[in-house]
Chain A
């Protein structure tokens, strides 16, 4: 009834190719953005920022990055944790070596460095495909984490084996460090991720994104119609690693503040981000957000329910939580293998016909 595009005429190409061609979609997105920018900051305290909003936003960025590679270009990667580590350690080295450098520049540079490393580890993808490639990317995961753990230069010779983020300001507002306000951290991440999600969305509708999708669907056929696999695959690795690197940078710099390579960037991280894009929807930017929301929120809800609601011991709750996570993943894969993004699409189609389905 409310979700109809009848009467919305497009009179030029620009409006036909707009990101959200239907007016209701536009309003909806604007409303969500308005709530996120103008309402949520008033409710964000330390707990909300550190347990819910920051993990959600940062994992969403990482998920977009992985989705570009796996969902759009079809190259399965299990090295996300390692690439996040590259971003985090680049941030650490850059901020400590050049204290006057703007934090935004630091994040972008960290992303660029990660992109370089990503291209390096993406080279085997030109020859290896499918699960062979997935396992090969584990080499990146284990090697990078080992490297950061072993070579003291990366840790600035820290005796504890930990890296910690010095406080940094942007436009006079403290963003990193323990004394930064949760609202500031939240808004900074929100703006950052909003801009890059928009860029990603536009990237995948353009020439580059289309060449990735052609490679994903069938690389030989793509080659025959004139897409260079080398170019397409390596750009996918570069852009994906750029995003993942920035996510790692924010993960360490803004959210955690201090990190220890093996624990913070282990293989669990890689799986977690992969879960997000699969539960959310492969090849969908919206899906990356939905998947990140689900995977970050679900454990918190379950823990609250079991520890506070049912008075279970924390250890037992942890085991049940792992089991339930597994069950839910299998359940969602069975019910809707294309993820939340597909459910969202179905809901919209239903809504268009509602309340008269025939």
Chain B
């Protein structure tokens, strides 16, 4: 194959894979926004928190190891972390959200920023702020098969992330469409008051939805943690997920995935072909500009619900 075309293809595939990683984080945002209208800025820190907790349950030298002298196997550590995230969701509902039910969106947004600070501080105090390599046995390095047959360089880990994301979205879709709780979730998303009046408990639903997005955060945390180690900068991926979110629409799960792919590819291509022209390091803002350009044509994002305004 023509080397230039090959390079372009590699760039696009790399972008798609990075996009999947962004989409994983954006997914957690969408779930919470859909069910409660809360723009949860703490999602990134939740990823960090989950990854930190997971690390400490399973890694030698972690918190559990130091205090009790043993570590959990990977599957048990993941299960325990899920429990931790569910407890966290309950605590958040019990001590924060419950009191802020009828407040304006910006107040709730601020509360989640406060939450992000708390989680960050608590995470640092409990688990320490050094970089921790997270290894739960996911494959690392380049895929040999693709390298041999097509001369393409693709990280195995990113393929795993893509497959995981696909599975996760399918599971979520089934959960939302087919189960009783999923139906209640959609009812709450549609109309809080109507949902309340047919006997759906808002508070239970909120705990469930925050737990689910905590689990999504755990998945994202595992992927990002395996890629670049568990460290504070993990919480900054929230900032990467925001353009994905506005591009895809705050309320759409497929939007998060498609938006993630568009942003990932656009960013990679811009970085490779446009970056050198303007001095590099454009990945911080390019995604935002790209999303902004899309928004000018579709103010609700690509897949967002049509905004209907009445006086």
Contacts and interface: CB of A to CB of B under 8 A. Distances in A.
B125 interface: yes
Interface stretch (B6-14, B102-110, B131-139): B102-110
Given A316-B125, A334-B100, A129 B113 contact: no
Interface centre among A127, A271, A330 (most CB of B within 10 A): A330
A146 B121 contact: no
Interface stretch (A98-106, A133-141, A250-258, A340-348): A133-141
A86 to B, nearest CB: 15
A138 B242 contact: yes
B121 A150 contact: no
B114 A322 contact: no
A321 to B, nearest CB: 8
A146 B285 CA distance: 8
Given A127-B296, A322-B117, A322-B120, A139 B110 contact: no
A322 B121 contact: yes
Contacts of B107: 278, 333, 337
Main secondary structure of the interface of B (DSSP, over half): helix
B124 interface: yes
Given A130-B105, A132-B246, A135-B246, A124 B295 contact: yes
A278 B292 CA distance: 26
Contacts of B292: 124, 136, 139
A131 interface: yes
Contacts of A337: 100, 103-104, 107
A275 B109 CA distance: 11
A142 B292 CA distance: 13
Interface in A316-358: 316, 319-330, 333-334, 337
A326 B115 contact: yes
Given A220-B309, A274-B110, A127 B295 contact: yes
Nearest to A271: B113
11 contacts: A127-B299, A136-B295, A139-B285, A139-B292, A142-B284, A150-B281, A220-B310, A319-B129, A330-B118, A333-B114, A337-B100
Given A129-B307, A139-B288, A325-B117, 20 more contacts: A124-B296, A127-B296, A131-B246, A132-B246, A132-B299, A135-B291, A139-B289, A221-B311, A275-B113, A278-B110, A316-B125, A322-B118, A322-B121, A323-B121, A324-B121, A325-B121, A326-B114, A333-B107, A334-B96, A337-B104
Interface of B: 39, 96, 99-100, 103-107, 109-111, 113-122, 124-125, 129, 239, 242-243, 245-246, 250, 278-282, 284-285, 288-289, 291-292, 295-296, 299-301, 307, 309-311
**Among all A-B residue pairs, the 8 with the closest Cβ atoms:** A323-B121, A326-B117, A139-B288, A329-B114, A326-B118, A142-B285, A322-B121, A143-B285
